[in-house]
Amino acid sequence: MAELRDYEPLILHREPRFHVSLLANQRPRVILNAEWHADVGRYMAEHGLTDISLNGGCGWPGGGIEFLAEIPGLRSVAILHSKTRDLLPLLAHAATLEELILECNVVRAPGFSSLPALRNFNVAWARGLADVFDGVPHALDKLCVQRWPWEDLGGIVPLQSLRNLCIAGSRKLVEISALRGRVGIQELTLRGCPKLSDFEAVSTCVGVRRLELASKSIRSLELVRPLTRLERLIVETTEIESLAPLEGLGALRVVAVSERILDPDLSVLQRLPALEWAGIRSRKSYSLSVKQLNASLEARRKAR
């Protein structure tokens, strides 16, 4: 079998109306290439396939999704088409639907409380999704929202099982106090939120292992000092005062900082025992070059 990479789907089966693809660490997924036909449902049932993508870019013409009721035990649905507006037919799979990926002009959608099995919700925001955050406690594990529509993160308060949160491209978000003390979150991304300037609440998410922040407002890395479980850190900003706050982050394996660092001393990175790779976009002169730094980290790794 061909090598399977995280970013490169492997085509397992192809027919005129659909194909079946596979990504690393995922289940096989049916991709519609045309209008729905009962033959697709029969193929999925015969082969135990439970994941489907409805994507205009692959040839699906969009429209209603009532046909999903013909597929037994659906676990993952991706809908990427502007002509799809009513998501209430998803309720037919409320007991089994674990993952929902949306990029469509939704008018009606069920709330989280109507989808008790849902664990992963990945969405480009549309007005019809406002009732999804219905205030009911839910065991959602992963939430990724492009164009978050509110000034705060109050909508995540009932989602106490949340471990992975990504908010991107929000022109509304102003404050993130709802993150304070959320020790269960392990992966956190906040990027493209121009009105957000105070990231202090992030420092209280002490369970975070992967952190990605992108904002011109970030000047200091002091907010990551308490995050002793941090393994991967990506910060995109215009300049950072110093890497000194990373001292003591013994689990940190990967660090990437865009633009320049005012303090030229990079030796703190050499003292991080688990660090495997560092990326610094700026070409400013530092105490050692990034190439030299990564060479020393590689040599240390091989010596172990």
Instruction: Quote the distance between the C-alpha of residue 199 and its chain's center.
Output: 19
Mean per-residue pLDDT over the chain, rounded: 92
**What type of residue sits at position 265?**
D
Residue 120 sits at φ, ψ, to 5 deg, of -130, 120
Compute the average pLDDT of residues 93-110: 94
Nearest Cα residue to 235 out of 176, 191, 205: 191
Kindly tell me the sign of the dihedral angle through the C-alpha atoms of 108, 112, 113, 114: positive
Nearest Cα residue to 246 out of 280, 223, 262: 223
Q: Is the pLDDT of residue 158 over 70?
A: yes
Decide which of 25 and 295 is more confident. Answer: 295
Element (H, E) at 101: strand 99-103
Q: Compute the C-alpha angle 141/144/146, nearest 5°.
A: 165
What's the number of CA atoms in the CB half-sphere (13 Å) around residue 191? 12
State the pLDDT confidence band at 4, using cuts at 50, 70 and 90: very low
Strand partners, 78: 53, 101
Q: Is the pLDDT of residue 118 over 90?
A: yes
pLDDT of residue 283: 65
CB 291 within 8 A of CB 269: no
- pTM, entire model: 0.93
Cα separations in angstroms, 186 against 75, 159, 273: 24, 14, 21
